[in-house]
Structure 1
Amino acid sequence: MHPHLQVKSTSSDAFLESIISAIESVGCNEYFSNHIGQSQSDQKAIVARFQSAICSVLESNISSVKWELEYSPSKSNRDSIDIFGSNESTVVAIELDKHRADQVAKKFVSRVAILPETKVYFISLCYPGTANMSKLETIKYFGYCANLAKRMNNVYAGFTVEPKT
């Protein structure tokens, strides 16, 4: 089980491809093979370990960026970005959520709105939630986010965690 790229806003961005490659390399079995049905606090701990693993792989593979967990771009609100990367010309925002289209859209809009006016690479990384959460609707919203990012001269990629095919 690995993160699987579902949608990306461009096919010609080497930096995005390096992010995709790093994320897709992370094995997810130890995190998401039996998390459904566990308590919310147990699930939160599992996701925190997964978040750290993703950040560690990014740090190892993309050293031109400073990576942080739970970065707060604004002191006036309590929004924080799960994994944040920055260098002199770019910021990367990676949000981890269950397969919920409303969360994907909400996080994309709110985070892009509060980030600095520079090129933003926004990554949605969604893991299984419950049987009632529609992965297909989530993927549809990945497409909407990719379209909006492209219009704003930003970059977007949406991943789901699922068995590697």
Structure 2
Amino acid sequence: MKPVLHIASDANDPFLSSLVACIKSINCAEHFTDHLGKIQTEQASVVQRFQKAVSVSLAAVLPQMQWSLEHQQNSGSKDAVDIFGTSSEALVVIELDKNRADQVAKKFVSRSAIFKDKKIYYISLCYPGTDRMSVGECIKYFGYCANLSQRLGNVYAGFVIQKT
């Protein structure tokens, strides 16, 4: 069980290619085989462990980046980026969510506004949600995010971790 890339706004961007290769190689089976049967606090712990695993993988592949979890760009805001990477060359925003199109869109809009003066590499990494959550709709919104990213001068990729 690994993340599947569904949309990339710039397939020729070498930095995005590095991010994509790293994320596609992460084994998610230990995190998301039975999380939906757990209570909300237990699910949150599963996601936190996954968040840490993703950041460790990114740090190994892209050591020139400074990686942090729950990054708050504005100290007065409760908005925090799940995984945040920065270097002199790039700014990376990675958001982890269940495969809900409304969450993908909401986070994309808010993060694009927060970092409006900088080029960002934005990654939506969606893990399995309930059967009522439409993966197809989520992927449709990945396309919208990719189109808007291009217009904003940013780069976007959308991944889904499929249920087994």
Q: Report the TM-score when normalising by structure 2.
A: 0.97
Q: Map of 1:25-104 to 2, 5 A cutoff?
A: 25-104=25-104
Q: For structure 1, which runs of at least 5 residues remain unmatched after alignment?
A: none
SS at match of 1:119: coil
Give the aligned residue type for 2:108.
F
Compute the displacement of 1:89 (Å).
3.2
Unaligned regions of 5+ residues in structure 2, if any? Answer: none
Give matches, 1:1-165, under 5 Å. 1-115=1-115, 117-162=117-162
Separation (CA, whole Å) in 2 of partners of 1:141 and 1:40: 25
Is the contact between residue 97 and residue 125 of structure 1 (CA under 8 Å) also seen in structure 2?
A: yes
Distance 2:95 2:30 in 1: 20
- Comparing 116-125 with 149-158, greater Cα deviation is found at 116-125
User: What CA distance in whole angstroms lies between the structure 1 residues aligned with 2:131 and 2:42?
Assistant: 19
Q: Contact conserved, 2:122 with 2:156, CA < 8 A, in 1?
A: yes
Match of 1:17, SS? helix
Identity across the alignment (%): 49
- In the alignment of these two chains, the number of paired residues is 164
Distance in 2 (alpha carbons) for counterparts of 1:140 and 1:116: 23
Contact 1:95-1:123 within 8 A present in 2 as well: yes
Please tell me the root mean square deviation across aligned C-alpha atoms, in Å.
1.2
- Cα distance between partner residues in 2 of 1:33 and 1:140: 25
The answer (yes or no) to whether the contact 1:90–1:118 under 8 Å persists in 2 is no
Shift of residue 76, structure 1, vs aligned partner: 2.7
User: 2:156 is paired with a residue of what secondary structure?
Assistant: strand
Q: Measure, in 2, the Cα distance between the counterparts of 1:25 and 1:162.
A: 14
Are the equivalent residues in 2 in contact too, given 1:2–1:163 (CA < 8 A)?
no
**8 Å contact 2:67–2:84 — kept in the other structure?**
yes
2:37 aligned counterpart, secondary structure: coil
Q: Give the distance between the partners of 1:5 and 1:81, measured in 2 at CA.
A: 20
Instruction: For residue 37 of structure 1, report the CA deviation from its aligned partner.
Output: 1.9
Whole-angstrom distance in 2 between the partners of 1:79 and 1:144 = 22
C-alpha separation in 2, matches of 1:94 and 1:44: 17
* TM, length-normalised to structure 1: 0.96
Query: 4+ residue stretches of structure 1 with deviation over 4 A?
Result: none
How many Å separate the matches in 2 of 1:58 and 1:112? Answer: 22
Q: In 2, Cα distance between the equivalents of 1:132 and 1:151?
A: 32
Aligned to 1:92, the other structure's residue is in SS state: strand
Question: For residues 112 and 84 of structure 2, what CA distance do their matches in structure 1 show?
Answer: 12
